[in-house]
């Protein structure tokens, strides 16, 4: 796991967007896994800016979102399809047919989830999956106790998630109780994962994710088993990490390596 702690939430967003943009430029027909919630908003705003001002081209990009509330259609202003349209898709040149969000109104859940997995496979798998994290340590809606091998399926939201998300709905009663979500196993199959978190309310979940044991009680901790994960944090979200100085040291070494300053790393001095 590569842990990068930035000075501010804005810097986390800018760096995250830069990372995604460089993949899109390198591989214009890439498959991106996308997330909703407060965390990715700044990333999407920056991607929109890059599309407008720097010709970032999404015309051949395919996307798969992590999850959707059961019962909410695309025009409901709290559905994740609506979120994606208003915060990203409507502002860039992506082909609507290449954007995928689970259908909250699907009645045959099992068939729909199977089909969603199949579509990901048919697209060649997800190249880069963007993730947020819940205060209960979930990724997507994989609540504590979710199998670490789980696939896209129906999931009951945890009380903590309902409380956290009530801010978007006005009250806890209005938050749907069920969601369709990619499984932990589905997420682990993405070739690269970028998890971002901002704010001190995420600090405990981040500590468990990065430095705790791998456990279904904190589904984000399963990312420790993935070979290519970047965790982008602001100072507040990274505030409980014990090995922060080491992560910063790794980043300094990476920067020196990338810029070819080998002598500063003691290489070639003998
Ligand atoms: P947030 O949600 O980005 O709105 O904090 C993240 C999550 O619950 O996965």
- Rounded to the nearest angstrom, the distance between the alpha carbon of 40 and the centre of ligand 1 is 8
67: nearest Cα among 103, 97, 96, 41: 103
**What is the pLDDT, as a whole number, of residue 228?**
98
Q: Quick: pLDDT tens for 90-137.
A: 999 999 999 999 999 998 999 999 999 999 999 999 999 999 999 999
Backbone angles phi, psi at 5, to 5 degrees: -105, 120
- The active-site residue, picked from 6, 68, 103, 136, is 136
Domains, the chain, ordered by start: 2-239 (3.40.50.1360)
State percent of the chain over pLDDT 70: 100
50: nearest Cα among 22, 12, 86: 22
* Residue 136 bears catalytic tag: yes
Beta bridge pairs of residue 4: 232
**What is the pLDDT, as a whole number, of residue 24?**
98
pTM above 0.85, yes or no: yes
Closest atom of ligand 1 relative to the 37 alpha carbon: 4
Closest atom of ligand 1 relative to the 140 alpha carbon: 9
- Rounded to the nearest angstrom, the distance between the alpha carbon of 61 and the centre of ligand 1 is 24
**What is the pLDDT, as a whole number, of residue 112?**
98
Which residue out of 33, 38, 39 has the highest number of ligand 1 atoms within 8 Å of its CB and is therefore the one to mutate?
39
* Residue 138 bears catalytic tag: yes
Tokens, residue 82: 């609506």
Residues with CB under 6 A from ligand 1: 37-39, 132-134, 138
Tokens, residue 34: 């996308």
Contact 264, 38 (CB under 8 A): no
């Amino acid at each position: 796991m590569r842990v990068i702690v930035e000075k501010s939430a804005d810097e986390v967003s800018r760096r995250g967007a830069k990372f995604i943009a460089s993949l899109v430029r390198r591989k214009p027909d890439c498959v991106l896994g996308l997330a909703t919630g407060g965390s990715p908003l700044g990333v999407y705003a920056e991607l929109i800016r890059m599309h407008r001002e720097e010709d970032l081209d999404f015309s051949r990009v395919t996307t798969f979102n992590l999850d959707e509330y059961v019962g909410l259609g695309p025009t409901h202003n709290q559905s994740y399809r609506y979120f994606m349209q208003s915060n990203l898709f409507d502002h860039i040149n992506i082909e609507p047919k290449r954007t995928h969000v689970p259908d909250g109104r699907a009645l045959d859940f099992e068939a729909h989830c199977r089909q969603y997995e199949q579509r990901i496979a048919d697209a060649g798998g997800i190249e880069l999956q963007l993730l947020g994290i819940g205060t209960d340590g979930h990724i997507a809606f994989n609540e504590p106790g979710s199998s670490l091998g789980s696939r896209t399926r129906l999931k009951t939201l945890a009380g903590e998630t309902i409380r956290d998300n009530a801010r978007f709905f006005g009250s806890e009663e209005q938050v749907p109780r069920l969601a369709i979500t990619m499984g932990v196993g589905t997420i682990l199959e993405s070739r690269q994962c970028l998890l971002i978190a901002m704010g001190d309310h995420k600090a405990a979940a981040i500590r468990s994710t990065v430095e705790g044991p791998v456990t279904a009680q904190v589904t984000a901790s399963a990312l420790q088993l993935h070979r290519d994960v970047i965790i982008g944090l602001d100072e507040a979200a990274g505030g409980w990490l014990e090995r922060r100085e080491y992560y910063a040291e790794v980043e300094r070494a990476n920067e020196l390596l990338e810029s070819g300053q080998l002598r500063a790393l003691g290489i070639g001095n003998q």
